[in-house]
Amino acid sequence: MELAKVNIEKLEALLRQAGELFQDREAAGCVKIKGEADYVTEVDYRVQQFIRGRLEADYPQVQFLSEEKTNQEIDKSGLVWILDPVDGTTNLIHDCHASCISLALMERSEVVLGFVYNPYSEELFMAQKGRGCRLNGKSTAVSRAARMEDSLIAIGTSPYYKETADKNFDIFKRLFMDCQDIRRSGSAAMDLAYVACGRLDGYFERNLKIWDVAAGMLLVREAGGSVLAFNGAQAGNDMVSDIAAGNSVIAGLLTEEYL
């Protein structure tokens, strides 16, 4: 299947329809505990079921990888949809309105299409490989910040991995002393989308799953930014990653001086 055969408008409409499920507070309150500080709600399952059903009907030859399913059978060398039905589940549980749907298409281990949709703000970010990043149809770009003291940086606390807290918070303190300020949204996909439109100058977090970041990483890169591993190399599409994102200067500063 060629990317040109994917109906972008139909996918955007699908995400907007799925986003309506976020408004069901009863379903959002139906919570299961998957692990330490790791939750899933009935909304997660309903969004996944809704999107998966449509994708498998329209693109039966494409595999499906998602947070709320087993994925042992996935062959990343083929075509794969990558879905996080609710990125920011804890926010959803608390009605914080900082949750989103993240959907990406991977072809031969490379992400070629990505969407991040916040149903509360009705902001839909979309990027195609080689064709830029858009927010509700308008082109976006990463910020031009060139100094850490001028930069607003988003952090991730890796709440499922409390053993990294001391290391993380030491970095947060050093960064806080040097940057303009720091933010913590609780949604990796939204943080990456905000880097892609220049609202945030940088973002970093450990232990991110591929469904958290596949779409967002493409957004940042197509908006002119960089997504790096903590060692400074280009971040890949691994099942678990530590990443830093921003324009090339800020992403570089994060990896060289803080991570």
The binding site comprises 67, 84, 87, 212
Please, what's the b/e burial string for 36-68 (b: 16 or more CB within 10 A of its CB; e: otherwise)?
A: eeeebbbbbbbbbebbbebbeeebeebbbbbbb
Annotation: binding site for Mg(2+) = 67, 84, 87, 212
Taking the CA atoms of 178, 174, 176 and 168 in sequence, report the sign of the dihedral they define: positive
Distance CA 150, CA 182 (A): 11
- Asked if residues 102 and 123 have their Cβ atoms less than 8 Å apart, the reply is no
Which ranges in 5-130 belong to alpha helices (H)? 8-19, 25-28, 42-58, 89-93
Specify which residues 156 forms β-bridges with: none
Instruction: Give the DSSP letter of residue 254.
Output: I
